[in-house]
Structure 1
Amino acid sequence: MKELPGKPVSPDLTPTKARQLLGSEGLPEKGGEPAGLLKQTASWLFEHSTFNGHPRFLGYITSSPTPIGALADLLAAAVNPNVGGWQLSPIASEIERQTIRWIAELIGYPTDCGGLLVSGGNMANFVGFLAARKAKAGWNIREKGLR
């Protein structure tokens, strides 16, 4: 992280060069040793990625990575919670509920409002579309379907 400001924002890499790094071997017949695979993958990622956390990165809307965010991702990946139902991930569901309540408080909404965290912009747009469709329909789409 300390070295990031002195590095280029993006690598001098073409699709051809990237493919050459990976090689053209077929699917291995046997699995490899995990430590070596992780070391090689980390090397490729750190040497050949565009760094959206770079101080001179001004493109797109991707948020910058942070050390605490990386640790939070590690924790979430270790448990892999399915927040589609409370029984599947009780504490993760409650963390999501508390986060929604805090966001509501921050922006002046009632703290008993509903909400959910989604995976990104596409899913947010899809959920917004479903909410608009439900509001406009005037009937229970789940029970009566689309007309």
Structure 2
Amino acid sequence: MTEVTLWTACLGAYTFSYHQALEYESFAGEHAGVDVNGKNHKYWVDIGNYIDLEHHNAEHLRWRIMDELYDQGDAWVWDSASNMKKFEAMRINSDLLAKRGMDILVAVAVNHIISAIDALYLSRLEKIESVAVLPMFGKNSHGLKLQIYF
């Protein structure tokens, strides 16, 4: 049951993240004039942090990061700062959902590892013929001795 729940949650997180990405891309197309085709994730992060292409490129020129400049084919201009902030919140939400999907995949892997260890433990437990706990008394020490016979 845990396995089905985890896989369902994972599928749900990735599916909802994908739909959120489609929504924020459409929102950017409508409010920033973005051509949504062929853009990578870094582009979507950048347009959520700068009001337009000129502000982005000017800052990157000041930092001397020439390889992260965009050309006019990738231009955007937000119609308002509030729409830029709304877009950024939508993008972050989509990214968080995708991260939750990855976290759930890790939970599935951990669940499999724990199940394998448990199965190994149970299989070895069946092979134990006897277990004895014996008291040990010495001149300067006392203790218990555990004997397991396979």
TM-score range normalised by the length of the shorter chain: under 0.3
TM (normalized to structure 1)?
Answer: 0.23
Bigger-Rg structure (1/2): 2
Greater RCO between the two (CA within 8 Å, min separation 6)? 2
Which has the larger share of strand? Answer: 2
Which has the larger share of helix? Answer: 2
